[in-house]
Structure 1
Amino acid sequence: IEDLEAQVTVECMIPQRFHRSIMGPKGSRIQQSTREYGVQIKFPDREETPQGAPNAESVVQENGDDGTETKVADPGSPKKSDIIIISGRIEKCDAACEALKALVPVSIEVEVPFDLHRYIIGQKGTGIRKMMDEFEVNIQVPSPDQQCDIITITGLSTNLERAKGGLLDRVRELQAEQEDRALRSFKLVVSVDPKFHPKIIGRKGAVISQIRSVHDVNIQFPDKNDETQDQITITGYERNTEAARDSIMQIVGDLEQMVSEDITLDHRVHARIIGARGKAIRKIMDEFKVDIRFPQAGAPDPNCVTIMGKPEDVDEAIDHLLNLEEEYMTDVVENEVMQSYMKPHSLEDSKPQSSKGFVVRDAPWTAGGNEKAPDMSSSEEFPIFGAPVTHKTSLGPKRQWGEGLLPADMS
């Protein structure tokens, strides 16, 4: 009974445009306030502004007036749609009213360089959504057409400072990235004779890839159509580009000290020295740090092999190749000797002698008798199976069937 007698109703005036923000998602903030302060909170019905008169002034009619005399309502007077009713004990109602007023969002403006806005928004708005969710505020970025440096943050006063600090931290991070990109964009051009470019690149780009990864730079060689074929461009931090240049020039210095010598290696051992898919020759080149070139098909001298490298390395490689030639030539000579035994006879020996045909000796008709050799064209002496045979006879004239025969003979 005492609580019922102490019940009061307090009007809390907050503009209607902030009511939805005060309620929070699904009314969670109001539910929390009613439980915390033990009061009842009722929001007014939403008032819709007539179309065409967004700022129309409300007309107040006094009781008993016929409407002929009207007066304009005070713009500063509260509207029904702005009044929130709080019911409960007086001290709790006042505390709840102050808590509701603390939930009214406020806005602050933060100056951010216009060129950083797109980085703050992020790809498809992911960056700005992350900040709004983290600080529970609304961040409004001006459109690109305005080219304005002001970003507006709206939310609870307790969250605004955190949101402002987070936004400024992001600005400092982006500015540091811009400065870093500017430093990484330093370019250094090195002039190197194009004949050394393949050696600097290395087999399958191994040498240049190592320089790029070690010094964290980008190295660009000239295209075939470029006028300056001797210029190599190095991009990165200034100190890194200088270190990469020194590495390249060291390779060039080593290449300039290299010598080239031609030796004679029997072409019959080239295949064995090269090995399957070039594995053997690559192993030799890596071991002695030289470059070995064999003659191509149709070369004037098929036995000429070129070795390039430092003088001491070239001498060692030549000694090794000559030793391999001596070893492999023994096998080559043995193989050739074995193949000579396995070769067929000469064409004259293997040529078949002319045949006189089939000769019959000591036949009956060759013994000096009167018998003559059989006539191979005669079908009688050499009958053909299935063909009729005509017999020679010395009897009288042929008689037709039944000619001169009596009926008794026919029987």
Structure 2
Amino acid sequence: MQNLLSNERTTGLSIDPQYYPQIIGVKGKKLEEVRSKFHNIQITFPEANGKSDKVILHGDKEDVEKCSKFLQQKIKDLYSIEIELSKRLYPLLIGKSGSNIQRLREQMPDVRIDISNVDDTKEYLSIRLNGKRIDVDKARKYLDEHIKQLSISLENSIDQYITINPKWHNKFFQNKRKLLNELQQQYGDMLIKFPERNNNSDQVLLRGSKQIIEQVQKCLVELIDTWENTITKEISIPHRHHGYLLAKGGSYIQPIQKEYNVQIKFPPRNNHNEQEPSNDDIVRITGRIDDIEKAEIALEKMIPLELAVDIPFEVHGVLLGKAGNQLEKLIEQYPDVQITFPSLNSSSNLIHLKGQSEQTESVKNELIQRYEKYQIDKQARSYELRFPIKSEYRSLIIGPRRRTINDLKQKYNVNIQILNNQQPTTAVVPTPTLSNDTNHDDQQALPIENSSLTNETISNDIEILIIGYEDKALKCRDEILKLIQDFKSTITMEIDIDHRIHARIIGTGGQKLQQIMKDHNVDIKFPSNNQSNKVHVIGTNQDNIDACIDHLLILEEDFLQDLPYKKQIQNESSTSGQQLSNVQHRQQEVPSASALASNSNMNKSTKNNNKQAAFKVKNAPWASNEQNGFENQQEKIRNERKNSPKKGQFAPSKDDLGEYPSFSNGLTLTTDDDLSEIHETTVNTIPIIWGPPKRNK
């Protein structure tokens, strides 16, 4: 604490009060800069009415010394001079509401201009300029020249009175002296002084140069003449049009008022008097007589014209366009016209137009022309073309999922109808579905409609009706006949593919089949009942058909490899079930000793016959010389086990297929209760399948 107190210091710096504004700045900005530079310094200025000129600096010893030197250097850089100004020139220098002196300060931002108060005992005022010496010298030269011009203007100025009726005095002071300020800004240093309101005088003082007074006087005379000759004329405009004329911020009325120097006043919108309905239609125009007549003609042209165009309701959607795009284009072309179509719930044919007469007539003609054009186009689109074809080609024209006929309609912009009461002949394509049999991995199929041709034919002919433009209808007919002609030249070949794998070839949703047809550019037809093996391949190129058939046969060969395993499992399941029923039947009977012996011999012979051979690769290059050795080795192991005195006490041998039934595909060994004899039996088990299990879809 003692160290802090010993480092503090208070110093009084003597500064001339005339420099205080330069140090403090506008709203204390410069003083804040000094304080931000020296954070630990308190700067206190003396009171305004005091006689002291000491500025107190208090804070850290080093900072006080630095701040003191900084302010002293700043004072040295400041420069101040005084200029005398005659009291006669003071009003001209200051201007109205200080506008002239403010303009001078904006032109000299680096110099502070202070003007002393007016003293009636003195003839001159002092103007002090503070700032850097260079800036002050420039400001002094400019100010001296300006005062000189004011003095010359004052010497050449004269006082002249003009007579203006007191009833017009208030017009100069309306809207915050708008007219009076405009005159003073237009004619520069000009004094226009009106008499006091209590005086009821008609004399207005004009003070300035002779040339400027003449210009101002001429302008005032014209204004007074306009006001004297101004009248108000009432014209009748239906009240329902007032909103239109005043729309868009008065963009229709303001140009007329400005061009003809008139004032147009509409009645209040909410002032609707039922007893005097005519008052709502009165519009007042104020101005000179000749100007009112011109403004009235222009205003009558702006009154909107109301028309109703009779066009059938069913055509309105065409005139509106998609999402109203035709109506938007019409509004962009004629922005001053309001176009109103009847609502959808209405059946009216009238389209109401409201706007300026010329544009409204143009919109009316435009709508009529569009309607007539639509009628002509509708007549042209109503051309009908009929021709017969054989009924067997009906599904060819319709195409898969009506794709062919829809493409023709879109391509030629026509409507195609097949005129008969018979349903189209359709082919069915099997699609994969889940089977209820869990032991069967093949996918079953349900038929779906396929509008391609089948072998079924109908003897009766059908008629094709095409409605549209004549040229496009003829082209559409030619393309249909070409489709039929191309179909007649197609080649159809029949092959046999196991019906159990049809669903595997077709795939989910027919995706695999569609890809095959796309790759070979052919059409493939499977039977609808999923029981026949007959498959038809249809195309126009023999090479593509042959390639597709080869591909289908390869797929059949691959898919058929899974079927034997499942067949074997089903057979073994049925055999085991039959054996179980036989065992149950035997248990109900009491066998004799001779029967037991005979049954034992029969079981041994049956087991020996049902033994499943060990799995081995036949005709393999590496197994040709080892086949006999492998069989001899297995036989040797069995004999050693059979003739050994320690029956049933050997550890399992992995080389013996009987010890490991999983490697022998169901072969296993069992012993009697006394362990005197080893029996070989076959267990009906499902073969182990390696890899991820198949999922039933």
Under TM normalisation by the shorter chain, which class is it?
Answer: 0.5 to 0.7
Does residue 8 of structure 1 match 2:229?
A: yes
Distance 2:508 2:353 in 1: 71
Pairwise CA distance, 1:135: 5.5
Contact persistence 1:183–1:236 (CA under 8 A): yes
Distance 1:215 1:295 in 2: 35
Match of 1:103 among 293, 296, 299: 299
Contact persistence 1:186–1:237 (CA under 8 A): yes
The corresponding residue for 1:160 is 357
Contact persistence 1:190–1:232 (CA under 8 A): yes
Does residue 208 of structure 1 match 2:441?
A: no
The normalised TM-score by structure 2 is 0.35
Query: What letter matches 1:212 in structure 2?
Result: K
Contact persistence 2:524–2:535 (CA under 8 A): no
Pairwise CA distance, 1:306: 3.6
The corresponding residue for 1:25 is 246
SS in 2 for 1:181: helix
Does residue 177 of structure 1 match 2:374?
A: yes
Match of 1:93 among 281, 284, 289: 289
Does residue 293 of structure 1 match 2:526?
A: yes
The corresponding residue for 2:533 is 303
Query: What letter matches 2:556 in structure 1?
Result: E
Query: What letter matches 1:290 in structure 2?
Result: D
The corresponding residue for 1:73 is none
Pairwise CA distance, 1:222: 3.4
Match of 1:351 among 556, 580, 583: 583
The corresponding residue for 1:322 is 553
| Higher helix residue share | 2
Query: What letter matches 1:304 in structure 2?
Result: K
Distance 1:43 1:274 in 2: 82
Q: Structure 1 residues 5 and 198 mapped into 2: Cα distance closer, same or farther (>3 Å)?
A: closer
Contact persistence 1:268–1:332 (CA under 8 A): no
CA RMSD of aligned residues (A): 5.2
Pairwise CA distance, 1:193: 1.8
Pairwise CA distance, 1:245: 1.7
The corresponding residue for 2:478 is 246
Residue deviations 1:283-326 (CA, integer Å, cap 9, x gap): 333334123222615x5xx3333444447254444343334334
Distance 2:376 2:297 in 1: 44
The corresponding residue for 2:456 is none
Higher relative contact order (CA 8 A, sep 6+): 1
Contact persistence 1:108–1:152 (CA under 8 A): no
The corresponding residue for 1:270 is 502
Contact persistence 2:232–2:285 (CA under 8 A): yes
Please show how residues 194-233 of structure 1 align to structure 2 within 5 Å.
Answer: 194-222=391-419, 224=421, 230-233=462-465
Pairwise CA distance, 1:252: 1.0
Contact persistence 1:132–1:139 (CA under 8 A): no
Pairwise CA distance, 1:12: 4.7
Please show how residues 1-150 of structure 1 align to structure 2 within 5 Å.
Answer: 1=164, 2=221, 3-4=223-224, 7-10=228-231, 12=233, 14=235, 16-17=236-237, 24-25=245-246, 28=250, 33=256, 37-39=260-262, 86-87=286-287, 92-105=288-301, 115=311, 134=334, 136=336
Distance 1:46 1:283 in 2: 78
The corresponding residue for 1:384 is none
SS in 1 for 2:419: coil
Contact persistence 1:132–1:138 (CA under 8 A): no
Distance 1:224 1:296 in 2: 26
Distance 2:549 2:477 in 1: 33
SS in 2 for 1:224: coil
Residue ranges of structure 1 left out of the alignment (5+ in a row): 52-80, 142-146, 358-411
The corresponding residue for 2:489 is 257
SS in 2 for 1:296: coil
Contact persistence 1:212–1:218 (CA under 8 A): yes
Q: Structure 1 residues 46 and 31 mapped into 2: Cα distance closer, same or farther (>3 Å)?
A: farther
Distance 1:334 1:82 in 2: 104
Residue deviations 1:81-122 (CA, integer Å, cap 9, x gap): 9996745xxxx431233212331247989997x556985797
SS in 1 for 2:300: coil
Pairwise CA distance, 1:250: 1.6
SS in 2 for 1:351: helix
Pairwise CA distance, 1:225: 5.8
Pairwise CA distance, 1:244: 1.8
Contact persistence 1:153–1:160 (CA under 8 A): no
SS in 2 for 1:104: helix
| Higher strand residue share | 2
Pairwise CA distance, 1:247: 1.9
Pairwise CA distance, 1:249: 1.4
Q: Structure 1 residues 84 and 47 mapped into 2: Cα distance closer, same or farther (>3 Å)?
A: farther
The number of aligned residues is 309
Query: What letter matches 1:25 in structure 2?
Result: L
Pairwise CA distance, 1:204: 1.6
Distance 2:229 2:315 in 1: 53
Query: What letter matches 1:8 in structure 2?
Result: N
Which range moves more in the overlay, 319-328 or 182-191? 319-328
The normalised TM-score by structure 1 is 0.55
Distance 1:111 1:18 in 2: 18
Distance 2:502 2:265 in 1: 100
Distance 2:550 2:401 in 1: 29
Residue ranges of structure 2 left out of the alignment (5+ in a row): 1-163, 165-220, 342-348, 424-459, 591-697
Q: Structure 1 residues 267 and 163 mapped into 2: Cα distance closer, same or farther (>3 Å)?
A: closer
SS in 2 for 1:221: strand
Contact persistence 1:307–1:314 (CA under 8 A): yes
Distance 2:230 2:418 in 1: 83
Q: Structure 1 residues 200 and 95 mapped into 2: Cα distance closer, same or farther (>3 Å)?
A: same
The corresponding residue for 2:612 is none
Residue deviations 1:131-180 (CA, integer Å, cap 9, x gap): 69945468999xxxxx99xx99886xxx4333323332333233223222
Residue deviations 1:358-406 (CA, integer Å, cap 9, x gap): xxxxxxxxxxxxxxxxxxxxxxxxxxxxxxxxxxxxxxxxxxxxxxxxx
Pairwise CA distance, 1:278: 3.3
Query: What letter matches 1:205 in structure 2?
Result: R
